[in-house]
Amino acid sequence: MKEIHVSSRKRNEMIDITNIVQQVITEVKLADGFVIVYIPHTTAGITINEGADPSVQQDLIAALQQLVPEHQDYTHAEGNSDAHIKASLLGSSVTVLVKKGQLVLGMWQHIFFFECDGPRNRTVFIQPQESR
pTM of the model: 0.96
- Domains defined for the chain, CATH in brackets: 2-130 (2.60.120.460)
| Confidence grade of residue 56 (pLDDT, cut at 50, 70, 90) | very high
Q: Look at residue 116 and tell me whether its pLDDT is greater than 90.
A: yes
Nearest alpha-carbon partner for 13 in 91, 79, 109, 83: 83
Q: Which tens digits make up the pLDDT trace of 3-39?
A: 999 999 999 999 999 999 999 999 999 999 999 999 9
* For range 89-114, the mean pLDDT: 98
Distance of CA 19 to the CA centre of its chain: 13
Say if CB 109 and CB 9 are below 8 A apart: no
For residues 4 and 43, give the distance between their C-alpha atoms in angstroms, rounded to a whole number: 17
